[in-house]
A and B are shown apart, each in its own frame.
Chain A
């Protein structure tokens, strides 16, 4: 598998770097870009089936809870996913089918099914700066970044929740990328032992607003490091504007998911 190879290669690079630097020889440390490649290449599971709970918390602390069912499948470097609302009941069975293409410049495909209208519409939307299901996560937060669009710098090595991390800054190369992702720049914290992004600070396109991603619960399921609880907080100055908690449960990987699941026809059948 491609990603495993990369991880191995990187581990070797790192080890050799450590050894060589201890010998006082000048050798290139792993570049930030290389680290980010490893992050993207990390095994995040395939043929997954899980339930997702999304808690939207407003500035007054009022909560709205949405429950969804999620299925996903990797096809080559593209990933397909199918999402259904389970609750609240008014939106039950509303579904989203998404094809997230790896190829740079190729827009994702998304279809939406509204059970009340019994209609499926392809949503033509070429940017990912919009909110994911009304949450504090943008669509761009839900998929891996195209690394060619950014300049990365390794800021320092530090610790988060007691784990060693790299602190990496990523700056979009163009204004278009800022508009497409909704973020001016980010600082991400990547755990050294498993390449999971455990924290991130993102500067929103709207000046003065920041988003804080914080991974609260991470577990290994079927050998895959799975973020079970993640919060995203939107802040302006010290003021919290809104916050979203996403929790995953009943996570299973390597399920027998037929390719026909990820089709419009299946979308129109609802969650069941």
Chain B
């Protein structure tokens, strides 16, 4: 790369920019303002499926399921009173239940012992009603309620624990977001155009409109309303615990909003202090702050404009973009102020500074962006988005630094300072420390390069061992502190009711009314009964509630047969099956439509499993599929004609468990790919920068070592790779390479001048070295901020990335010079 040519180009560009500064300012202002008008549109998405790409096949299956059967994520309220069947508790439960029904928005259904379906029959009657309405408020009534509740198979693990001590209340919400219809009277009829009844224009109802699943904000309204009532009712006699993924989502969102505010403010604080110490000028604080804040806002506005919500991963963007972006300004400003203070010609100093640093700013921004963009193809949508918009943020920072920053410098009145008055004692002291460190490093690396390289090699090998121990994990629950109520509640419900996470097995009989086939239903019943546990050995998961249309049929059949216990079974005759379903449809319960599709073609079998790391689920998916398929083959019933044989039954599995499992899979397959892309792209950039393939590749060694070490540390200390920590590699690579760029850039220059590697190293340390140390401090602080979060995922991510950045500095001031010493010492000797 012709460096002086590039430098000249930057100088003449800056000249033009200064000449047209007012015009340029207006253009930048208008464009930025246009972009920023999108800001209010930004949304938040902390949903479980939000991690996946919108077109992920597993997610599409899940969406189709939700369209048919509704949202399967429920809020679970668990109660462990002294006595569930005491009149006081029952009365409070009834009131609580009905208030929830009244006050919770976007509600589909509240189910508890109050209103659960109770089907009972005798010689001549069939009764289907709400459980608690079936018994009088007398001691005998309560005793009967207790007996029925404890003996009813359908209620067990759904609404009452096996020991009869815990009861739950299940809140189902709507699957879709429903905007209020403004005037239902004038728009609801299918032949009606808006505005009146008089028009008889036939107009097919527009079913093509986009359906939006319940939004994060709406989910928040649900959770808020539930929690408000929970707080109101909670007492010693009425102890309540709340679990379920809608609540998890909401807590994640709230903590994310808090954290983002905290991170952003802390980062602004750090930047202000750092800039003040570095420049001791108002403009030196103000201008970079404007640059990074605009970069940040532009990035968020770009997300809003493209309809991408902020997610758990992208919550790190504000502090990340500021940490990354500040370096650009600092490089230009430090040169500008020195030049300006020397000769007093502001315009010349601006041109000189941009000319000098322009290439470095562009290169470091591009490498950072490349590290992030390497994730943009990730199968995990939330990570791809962080990659895309993190990269976009780095580019915005670069653009504002080379366009807006020179304009602001040219427009703002700045005072020249004499060189002597600048340094304070604190500054001198800190400079002293840094200088000592750098001198030591320069000395060590040029005199003892071989031990350093060997030390590095040793670290590398240890790290490789650590990496072999590393594990992938996706378990949102472990992100919370151990005593977080939601975590405790989930553990308790998992223990008492055996499960909070659902998996849905869809049995497609292949044709309409296929569920009238008694073989299919019989097999479904067998399957449902047999799935009491999945996996084996340590991976064994006992399943809690399993439910399907089988429960309805068994209940109805028993009730129709004088309540005889042995009649709690599915009918074996097609007509009876059909008639019992018809009967059930007519009893006032709409439970059937949640169990089968409207064509009576597909049945749904729901299993509840305890909340586990997604890794535990991935192993079960195959087994579940296989066992389900096995249940429906070779089971042709000879009593029905062959067209009824259920050989055409197909099984598909969906549900939250699948979303978790898929998230983990996507994570694992994305990571290697992203790391490879980042390494290759950045290597090519380094090769271009230093102008030599060999040197470029060698310069990658100090870049890759810190990441290897950090991954090794994770493996050794048992820290998992999750949606956050998997990002560390590419992010750290993109940032670490900045230091290498500066080191190589300066080293090559000084080596050319002096012909001595040790002299070049000392020179480099004294010039670029300082900037490297300072940017490392700011960047690592930018990541260490995340450790102030209560969330374990951010704690790990921040700490480890910060560590990687600090290691990168040491790699660049020790290993890189040692490698250069070894290479160029030999070369020099040959020449001599």
Q: B82 in the interface, Cβ–Cβ < 8 Å? A: no
CB contact under 8 A between A90 and B180, given known A127-B588, A236-B174: no
A141 within 8 A of B: no
Question: Which one of B121, B573, B580, B587 contacts A125 once the chains associate, using CB atoms below 8 Å?
Answer: B587
Residues of chain B within 8 A (CB-CB) of A122 are: 124-126
Is B197 an interface residue, CB under 8 A from the partner?
A: yes
- Decide yes or no whether A269 CB sits under 8 A from chain B: no
Chain A residues with CB below 8 A from B125, complex form: 121-124
B30 in the interface (beta carbon within 8 A)? no
A130-B211 contact given A160-B197, A206-B108, CB 8 Å threshold: no
User: Min CB distance, B543 to chain A, in Å?
Assistant: 30
Q: Chain A 137-176, CB within 8 Å of chain B: the 1/0 string?
A: 0010000000000000000001111100000000000000
Q: How far is the CB of B596 from chain A (nearest CB, A)?
A: 11
Complex: how many Å from CA A231 to CA B383?
A: 48
Of residues 193 through 212 on chain B, the ones whose CB sits less than 8 Å from some CB of chain A are 197-198, 200, 205-207, 209, 211
Instruction: Please indicate the chain A residues that have their CB under 8 angstroms from the CB of B575 in the complex.
Output: 90-91, 115-116
- Pairwise interchain contact B582-A94, C-beta atoms closer than 8 A: yes
With A64-B512, A201-B188 already in contact, the answer to whether A91 and B579 are too (CB < 8 A) is: yes
Chain A residues with CB below 8 A from B273, complex form:
none
Q: Is A240 an interface residue (CB 8 A)?
A: yes
- Encoded as 1 (CB less than 8 Å from any B CB) or 0, chain A from 216 to 242 comes to 000000000000000101011111101
A121-B124, A122-B124 known; A90 vs B578 contact (CB < 8 Å) = yes
Instruction: Looking at the assembled complex, report how far the CB atom of B115 sits from the nearest CB atom of chain A, in whole angstroms.
Output: 11
**A183 at interface, CB cutoff 8 A:** no
Say how far A98's CB is from chain B's closest CB, in angstroms. 11
Knowing A119-B560, A201-B185, A238-B187 are in contact, say whether A114-B585 is a contact too (CB < 8 A): no
B184 CB contacts on chain A under 8 angstroms: 201, 210
Contact A91 B129 (CB under 8 A): no
A62 close to chain B: CB less than 8 A: yes
Does A131 lie within 8 Å of B588, measured CB to CB?
yes
Q: State how many angstroms separate the Cβ of B306 from the closest Cβ of chain A.
A: 26
How many residues on chain A are close to B (CB under 8 Å)?
Answer: 56
With A121-B125, A125-B128 as known contacts, state yes or no: A212 contacts B200, CB within 8 Å. no
Residue of B nearest to A235 (CB): B188
CB distance from B221 to the nearest CB of A (A): 13
Which of B107, B126, B127, B574 meets A112, CB within 8 Å?
B126
Please tell me if the beta carbons of A114 and B579 are within 8 angstroms of each other in the complex: yes
A64 to B513, CA, bound (A): 10
Which of B178, B185, B571 is A236 in contact with, Cβ under 8 Å? Answer: B178
User: Is A208 a contact of B174 with CB atoms below 8 Å?
Assistant: yes
Contact with B along A55-97 (1 / 0, CB 8 A): 0101101101000000000000000000001001011001010
> Per-position contact with A for B772-806: 1 when CB-CB < 8 Å, else 0?
00000000000000000000000000000000000
Q: Which residue from A159, A189, A207, A237 sits with its C-beta under 8 Å from B181? A: A237
Task: Say yes or no: A214 contacts B189, CB within 8 Å.
Answer: yes
B188 touches A212 (CB 8 A): yes
Partner of B126, one of A116, A124, A236: A124
In the complex, the answer to whether B583 meets A208 with C-beta atoms within 8 Å is no
- Select one of A114, A134, A187, A199 contacting B189, CB under 8 A: A199
Question: Are B586 and A134 in touch, CB under 8 angstroms?
Answer: yes
Contact of B430 with A by CB under 8 A: no
Report if A133 contacts B (CB, 8 A): yes
Determine chain B's interface SS by DSSP, over half rule. Answer: loop
Question: What string of 1s and 0s marks CB contacts (under 8 Å) between B675-702 and chain A?
Answer: 0000000000000000000000000000
**Residues from 177 to 213 in A contacting B, C-beta threshold 8 Å:** 187, 189, 199, 201, 206-208, 210, 212
Residues of B contacting A208 in the complex (Cβ-Cβ under 8 angstroms): 106, 174, 178
Give every chain A residue within 8 A of B585 (Cβ-Cβ): 131, 133-134
Minimal beta-carbon separation of B522 from chain A (angstroms) = 16
Return the CB mask of B478-512 against A: 1 if under 8 Å, else 0: 00000000000000000000000000000000001
Alpha-carbon gap, A250 to B740, bound state (A): 90
Q: A64-B598, A91-B579, A159-B197 are in contact. Are A187 and B178 (CB under 8 A)?
A: no
Decide: B598 and A62 in contact? CB cutoff 8 A: yes
Closest chain A CB from B101 CB (angstroms): 9
Q: What per-residue 1/0 map shows which CB atoms of B512-550 lie under 8 Å from chain A?
A: 110010000000000000000000000000000000000
Instruction: Tell me the complex Cα distance, A85–B585, Å.
Output: 14
> What is the chain B residue whose CB lies nearest that of A130?
B588
User: Is A129 located at the chain interface by the 8 A CB criterion?
Assistant: yes
The residues of B that contact A61 with a CB separation of less than 8 Å are: 207
CA distance A112 to B587 in the complex (A): 11
Q: Min CB distance, A110 to chain B, in Å?
A: 9
Given A124-B125, A134-B582, the answer on whether A240 and B205 have CB atoms closer than 8 Å is yes
Q: Check B99 for interface membership: any CB of A closer than 8 A.
A: no
Residue A117 CB within 8 A of the other chain: yes
When distances are taken between beta carbons in the complex, the residues of chain A under 8 Å from B413 are none
- Please tell me if the beta carbons of A58 and B205 are within 8 angstroms of each other in the complex: no
| Residues A64 and B599 in contact, CB atoms below 8 Å apart | yes
Give me the interface of B with A, judged by CB distance under 8 Å.
Answer: 67, 105-109, 121, 124-129, 174, 176, 178-181, 184-185, 187-191, 197-198, 200, 205-207, 209, 211, 512-513, 516, 560, 571, 573-580, 582-583, 585-590, 597-600
Query: Apart from A62-B599, A124-B126, A124-B127, what 10 extra A-B contacts exist at CB < 8 Å?
Result: A94-B579, A114-B580, A116-B571, A121-B125, A121-B560, A123-B587, A125-B588, A130-B587, A199-B197, A214-B189
16 of the cross-chain contacts (CB-CB < 8 Å) are A59-B67, A91-B575, A94-B582, A114-B579, A121-B125, A121-B126, A121-B560, A123-B125, A129-B588, A131-B585, A162-B198, A201-B185, A207-B105, A207-B107, A208-B174, A212-B188
